Amino acid sequence: MKFLLSATIILASPLIAAPVPLLRTAATVNGKMITTREVEQQLAPTVSMLLAKYPRRGDKFREAFAEARNEVLDELIEHKLVLSSLEEKNLQIPEYLVKQDVERFIRINFSGNQEEFRKYLKSIRMTRREFEKSQQEKILVQSFKRQQFKDVAPATDSEIKERYQKRSSDLRDRSKDVITFRKIYIPSIDQDNPVATQEDQLALAEKLAAEVKGGADFSSVAKSHSAGAFADKGGLWEDTLRSDLEVGFADIVFDSPEGAIVGPIKDRVGFTIVQVVKISTGPLPPFDAEMRERMRSEVEIEKRSGRYDEWIKMLKRNAIIRRNT
């Protein structure tokens, strides 16, 4: 979500420095700080989706936000515990491996589009260098887990195949996901009724959502009220690629079952109600030798995770952890 900020430029004496915001503490682990900025960076993609899903930011939004924040903070605390333990071991990850991992992240999540990746970094208020450091730490933790907990039973053929099927939604080519849906779009500002406020427009969207969820014909309501494209066709968007939709919007509608009515969803210019008609997911990569090896590795990592979790519990018992609410 983008916000336009205006500022007045004030000429001041060069001796007067601009105030530097203090880092606030979300938690401490053995005296080492986890900042609220770290939490916000990890939480940013989830918050964007929640803001779109719950435009009134009521109780459901607050509950979902609190749950997501606690999960992120738990992960950061665990991460800090592991990194503190690894400092004594002086483990290092070559920089070229980190850069390869970042390029893979861009390829998988943004189809290799560097500009989209830069927009993503801007949305979570993170520099590329900070992102690379974060990925480096993740690789370091994974490497440690492989080394420290390597004596597990080898993955069986059935476990490898089961893992492949279980991971199908993540492994598929999401850029080729296709959806057919109907849409009712209510703009935040009604050009035909300039006295209508954004609150009025949201109330209208909520009223229409209640009508179609209550059984009113979606197509007819779209023809009568939608200001969006294809309103004359009942708001029908046929065979639309995931990549042609805004990321947050796409995540919400593709995660909804066929037949579901979702919304109103808020974006920067209005409110959208969606009826999911049909979803066709992108193809899975072939279960070739490379994929089999990848799944074998994942199965054995998961087996190691059980022992890793016990080790984390031990670290937590011996650590001094303080959370700030």
Give yes or no: residues 208 and 269 share one domain. Answer: yes
Residue 89: the pLDDT is: 62
CA distance 224 to 228: 11
Domain membership of residue 276 (yes or no) is yes
Give yes or no: residues 237 and 303 share one domain. Answer: no
Domain membership of residue 15 (yes or no) is no
Q: Given pLDDT bands bounded at 50, 70 and 90, which one contains residue 211?
A: very high
Tens-digit pLDDT profile for residues 51-83 = 888 888 888 888 999 999 998 898 888 888 877
Residue 54: the pLDDT is: 85
Give yes or no: residues 166 and 46 share one domain. Answer: yes
Domain membership of residue 2 (yes or no) is no
Tens-digit pLDDT profile for residues 6-32 = 232 222 333 334 344 456 888 888 888
Residue 90: the pLDDT is: 62
CA angle 283, 158, 170 (to 5 degrees): 30
**% of the chain beyond a pLDDT of 70:** 86
In this structure, are residues 177 and 279 in contact, taking their beta carbons and an 8 Å threshold? yes
Residue 223: the pLDDT is: 92
Across 271-298, average pLDDT: 88
Domain containing 36 equals: 25-153+161-170+286-323
Domain membership of residue 14 (yes or no) is no
Q: In this model, does residue 207 exceed pLDDT 90? A: yes
Q: Can you give the pTM of this predicted structure?
A: 0.53
SS (H, E, C) 249-264: HHHHHHCCCCCCEEEE
Across 147-161, average pLDDT: 78
Looking at the DSSP bridge assignments, the partners of residue 322 are 28
In this structure, are residues 295 and 163 in contact, taking their beta carbons and an 8 Å threshold? yes
For residue 22, the SS3 value is: coil
Tens-digit pLDDT profile for residues 168-204 = 877 888 888 899 999 999 998 877 777 778 888 889 9
Give yes or no: residues 33 and 138 share one domain. Answer: yes
Helix axes 36-53, 59-87, angle to 10 degrees: 150
Site of tokens 């519990």:
313
CA distance 81 to 27: 12
Give yes or no: residues 245 and 313 share one domain. Answer: no
Domain membership of residue 5 (yes or no) is no
Q: Which CATH number fits the domain that encloses residue 297?
A: 1.10.4030.10
Domain membership of residue 4 (yes or no) is no
In terms of Cβ atoms closer than 10 Å to its own Cβ (0-12, 13-18, 19+), residue 222 is buried
- And the tokens for 39? 């939490």
Q: Which CATH number fits the domain that encloses residue 245?
A: 3.10.50.40
The total number of residues shown for the chain amounts to 325
Give yes or no: residues 66 and 144 share one domain. Answer: yes
Give yes or no: residues 249 and 306 share one domain. Answer: no
Give yes or no: residues 166 and 302 share one domain. Answer: yes
- And the tokens for 178? 């296709």
Domain membership of residue 314 (yes or no) is yes
CA atoms within 13 A on the CB side of 29: 19
Give yes or no: residues 254 and 290 share one domain. Answer: no
- And the tokens for 213? 């969820």
Residue 145: the pLDDT is: 65
Site of tokens 């004359």:
232
For residue 264, say if its preceding peptide bond is cis, omega within 30 degrees of 0: yes
Q: How far is CA 180 from CA 170, 231, 244, 245, 302, in A?
A: 21, 14, 12, 12, 36
Query: Considering just the CA atoms, what is the radius of gyration of the chain in Å?
Result: 24
Give yes or no: residues 29 and 144 share one domain. Answer: yes
Number of structural domains in the chain: 2
Give yes or no: residues 294 and 255 share one domain. Answer: no
Across all residues in the chain, what is the average pLDDT?
A: 80
Domain membership of residue 189 (yes or no) is yes
CA distance 91 to 113: 32
- And the tokens for 270? 């209005």
255 φ, ψ to 5°? -85, 0
Q: In this model, does residue 141 exceed pLDDT 80? A: no
Give yes or no: residues 133 and 46 share one domain. Answer: yes
